[in-house]
């Protein structure tokens, strides 16, 4: 026979009440992984980190020693598309990157962005998934 029914009830209630899920903040903020390339068999892996500072979204492609800064990412919330340009340093100098993408599965923590990617003379498609 249990002598402390209120204590047991309190414990059971507190065990069922876990922490509330955190808000995700800006839909682009976070680390994204994926690839880009001219065909389904010729792909280049990319990691992109995006952050919103309360005024603008910026990013970094492939963080590390050869990181490519993305100074501004335009987000069109009317149709959930993004655009950005960046410059990659290469052995031959530099290469312009231009990207346009559509955010899919906006409510998912693992949302995706897909669209065309141009880097130098190469054109292809890309897909990024939020980690």
Q: What is the DSSP string of 4-24?
A: -HHHHHHHHHHHH--PPPPP-
What are the pLDDT tens digits along the chain (131 aa)? 555 555 444 444 444 444 444 445 688 999 999 999 999 999 999 999 999 998 999 999 999 999 999 999 999 999 999 999 999 998 888 999 999 999 999 989 899 999 999 999 999 999 999 99
pLDDT at 11: 41
- Taking the C-alpha atoms of residue 43 and residue 29, their distance in angstroms, rounded to an integer, is 24
pLDDT at 92: 85
- Taking the C-alpha atoms of residue 75 and residue 30, their distance in angstroms, rounded to an integer, is 15
- Taking the C-alpha atoms of residue 39 and residue 41, their distance in angstroms, rounded to an integer, is 5
pLDDT at 127: 98
Q: Which fold has domain 24-130?
A: Lipocalin (2.40.128)
Domain ranges of the chain: 24-130
pLDDT at 91: 85
**Ramachandran region of residue 25, left (φ > 0), alpha (ψ -120 to 50) or beta?**
left
Contact 70, 88 (CB under 8 A): no
């Amino acid at each position: 026979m249990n002598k402390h029914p209120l204590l047991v009830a309190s414990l059971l209630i507190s065990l069922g009440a876990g922490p509330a899920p955190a808000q995700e903040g800006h839909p682009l903020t976070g680390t994204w992984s994926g690839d880009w390339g001219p065909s389904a068999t010729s792909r280049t892996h990319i990691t992109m980190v995006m952050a919103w500072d309360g005024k603008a979204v910026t990013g970094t492609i492939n963080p590390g020693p050869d990181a490519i800064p993305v100074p501004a990412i335009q987000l069109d919330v009317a149709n959930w598309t993004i655009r950005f340009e960046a410059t990659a340093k290469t052995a031959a100098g530099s290469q312009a990157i231009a990207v346009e993408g559509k955010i899919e599965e906006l409510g998912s923590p693992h949302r995706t962005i897909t669209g065309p990617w141009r880097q130098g003379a190469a054109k292809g498609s890309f897909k990024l998934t939020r980690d």
